[in-house]
């Protein structure tokens, strides 16, 4: 292969990863349409990315998903202006005001990734988690909030690709998954107990009325009830989420 062909192949591969990420899981037709590649070329590129460990397929889905190798590529990248100039200061303000650690999480295939947190600032930190940590979308407060407010097509793709265990009743919800998501969407937040004697209150970060990610606040269950936490922290958490969503929307509008 000539050097120019190698460069074009690399660019096509990156464009495919972007397409899969935008859809939070995409099938062959979606990738071919977005990248303007033929189905045959798109298929070969997708399979090559699977072989290299950057994408994965699941037996109960005809789509492709980002693998756990993808978050590790950006784990050390902290220069993104939105994170350093807007998101992190907003989380730090919450923690300085209310003491509890806060986290910003975004979806990657069927997981939620910790993009930023204030566990290093909080005097009541449970444990220090690393940036880039991946957690189940179906068994966490942040993941269920994201699912409840995801765009309909995205939510449908995620639910159809959920492993059977994730669709069963879990500690993070009561009853069928779809029923739980409808309840979360109606009230606008979700709060669950976590394994480390704590609880997590989460709200969606919305961009153009669809979830971009989740904003979470962690508190000790022994310190207050869910109702007390909602009464004290839901309003400022929602306000911060609105500010983050507005900033993201502005950035997207001004990006060529």
Cβ 204 vs Cβ 234: under 8 Å: no
Rounded distance, CA 15 to CA 92, Å? 34
Instruction: Give the residue from 203, 205, 207 showing the smallest Cα distance to 249.
Output: 207
Question: 3-67: which CATH topology?
Answer: Arc Repressor Mutant, subunit A (1.10.10)
Position 102 scores a pLDDT of: 95
What residue spans define the domains of the chain?
3-67, 71-254
Position 131 scores a pLDDT of: 79
Position 81 scores a pLDDT of: 64
Position 66 scores a pLDDT of: 81
Rounded distance, CA 41 to CA 39, Å? 6
Instruction: Give the residue from 71, 62, 20, 70 showing the smallest Cα distance to 45.
Output: 20
Position 148 scores a pLDDT of: 96
Tokens found for residue 191:
């709060």
Q: Say how many residues make up the chain.
A: 256
Task: Say which DSSP state 85 is in.
Answer: I
> Which CATH number describes the domain made up of 71-254?
3.30.450.40
Cβ 113 vs Cβ 140: under 8 Å: no
Position 77 scores a pLDDT of: 46
pLDDT tens per residue across all 256 residues of the chain: 444 555 778 888 888 988 888 777 788 999 999 899 999 999 999 999 988 888 888 655 678 888 767 766 655 444 456 777 888 999 999 999 999 999 999 998 788 988 889 988 888 876 777 778 888 898 899 999 999 999 998 888 888 877 665 555 455 554 588 888 999 999 999 999 876 678 999 999 999 889 999 999 999 988 899 999 999 999 999 999 999 999 888 877 765 5
Position 164 scores a pLDDT of: 60
Q: Is the dihedral of CA 82, 88, 93, 97 positive or negative?
A: positive
Q: Is the dihedral of CA 96, 97, 103, 105 positive or negative?
A: negative
Tokens found for residue 46:
């997708």
């Amino acid at each position: 292969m000539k050097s120019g062909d190698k460069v074009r192949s690399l660019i096509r591969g990156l464009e495919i990863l972007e397409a899969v990420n935008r859809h939070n899981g995409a099938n062959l037709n979606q990738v071919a349409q977005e990248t303007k590649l033929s189905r045959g070329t798109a298929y070969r590129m997708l399979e090559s990315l699977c072989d290299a460990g950057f994408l994965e397929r699941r037996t109960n889905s005809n789509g492709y998903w980002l693998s756990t190798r993808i978050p590790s590529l950006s784990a050390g990248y902290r220069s993104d202006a939105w994170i350093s100039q807007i998101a992190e200061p907003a989380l730090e303000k919450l923690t300085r005001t209310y003491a509890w650690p806060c986290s910003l999480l975004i979806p990657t295939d069927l997981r939620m990734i910790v993009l930023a947190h204030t566990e290093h600032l909080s005097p009541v930190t449970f444990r220090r988690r690393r940036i880039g940590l991946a957690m189940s979308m179906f068994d966490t407060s942040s993941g269920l909030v994201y699912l409840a407010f995801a765009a309909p097509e995205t939510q449908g793709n995620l639910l159809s690709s959920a492993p059977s265990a994730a669709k069963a009743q879990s500690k993070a919800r009561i009853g069928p998954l779809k029923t739980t998501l409808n309840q979360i969407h109606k009230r606008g937040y979700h709060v669950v107990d976590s394994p480390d004697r704590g609880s997590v209150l989460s709200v969606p970060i919305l961009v153009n009325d669809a979830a971009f990610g989740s904003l979470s606040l962690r508190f000790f269950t022994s310190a207050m009830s869910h109702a007390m936490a909602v009464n004290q922290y839901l309003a400022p958490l929602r306000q911060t989420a609105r500010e983050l969503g507005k900033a993201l929307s502005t950035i997207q509008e001004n990006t060529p």
